[in-house]
Amino acid sequence: MKLNDEVIAHIAKLLQMALITGTDIVDNLRMIILDEKEGSLYLNEEYVANNDANIQKMIDEALSSQASGEM
């Protein structure tokens, strides 16, 4: 099986997030859910939606924390 380009880009994004936050990438990689289509592996749509929501929540919390610190 082959990883779809979207999966490879997502893994790179997870690595970047791990480096920025100082967290271990292994747990994030274990959470990935893939679907098989035509001999390739694609990111599961529900996983993508949840992951995007989690990233947005983290950004919102960081912005809120930054705003609180500035006041």
Domain that residue 51 falls in: 2-70
Count up the domains in the chain and report the number.
Answer: 1
| pLDDT value for 69 | 75
What is the average pLDDT score of the chain? 92
**What is the side-by-side order of every strand in the sheet holding 2-3?**
2-3, 40-43, 34-37
Q: Quickly state the pLDDT bin for 14 (edges 50, 70, 90).
A: very high
Residues 16/20/25/28 CA torsion (nearest 10 deg):
-80
